[in-house]
Amino acid sequence: MRDIVVAREVAFPREMVWAALTDSRQLAAWLMPNDFRPEIGHRFTFTTKPAPGFDGVVRCQVFDLRAPERLAFSWQGGALDTVVSFDLAQTAGGTRITLRHAGFAGASNLLPRVILGFGWASLLSRKLVAHLDGCRLGA
């Protein structure tokens, strides 16, 4: 299974984006309630609505923290044992944010074989493109 990668360019300085990623209150404003602290090794949780097979708690641990360019933490919830990272690159107009959610194969060794066999990878990318087009039209 390939990783999920979503990128956005925003017209704000990198330090400002970094603060929105690493300040617990700001993080809660756009992602989920949390007890994040910008310390390597810090264990924290995001809390959201429970669903079947998922108690609504995402357990995380910070393992990479390089201000103001990279934040990475583990992301465990339900059957998922994955890794989320944010990379911030300075651009002429502001900051390019690249989100990567990796390690879905770890949810089950079955996933890569089964999903690739059914051509889901290409279906997923079509879905994402359609979604992003929808966002652009709405903007």
Partner 1 sequence: MSRVSSEQDPFRAIADANRRRMLDLMLAQERTVGELAGLLGIAQPSVSQHMAVLRLAGLVDERQEGRRTFYSVRAADLRGVAEWIAKYEVFWAERLDALAAHLARQRQ
Residues within the interface to partner 1 (CB under 8 A): 1, 4, 6, 8, 10, 12, 16-17, 20, 26, 29-31, 52-54, 78-79, 97, 99, 101, 104, 107-111, 113-115, 117-118, 120, 123-124, 127-128, 131-132, 135
116 CA to centre of own chain = 22
- Least CB distance to partner 1 at residue 91 (A): 14
Q: Between 23 and 65, name the residue whose CB sits nearer to partner 1.
A: 23
- Least CB distance to partner 1 at residue 130 (A): 10
SS3 call for 30? helix
Q: Between 41 and 138, name the residue whose CB sits nearer to partner 1.
A: 138
Query: Hunting for tokens 């992301």 — which residue is that?
Result: 75
Q: Between 8 and 37, name the residue whose CB sits nearer to partner 1.
A: 8
What is the maximal distance between C-alpha atoms in the chain? 45
Q: Between 41 and 56, name the residue whose CB sits nearer to partner 1.
A: 56
Torsion angle, CA of 102/108/113/117, rounded to 10 degrees?
-90
15 backbone dihedrals φ, ψ, rounded to 5°? -60, -35
SS3 call for 42? coil
- Least CB distance to partner 1 at residue 32 (A): 9
The tokens for 54 are 């998922």
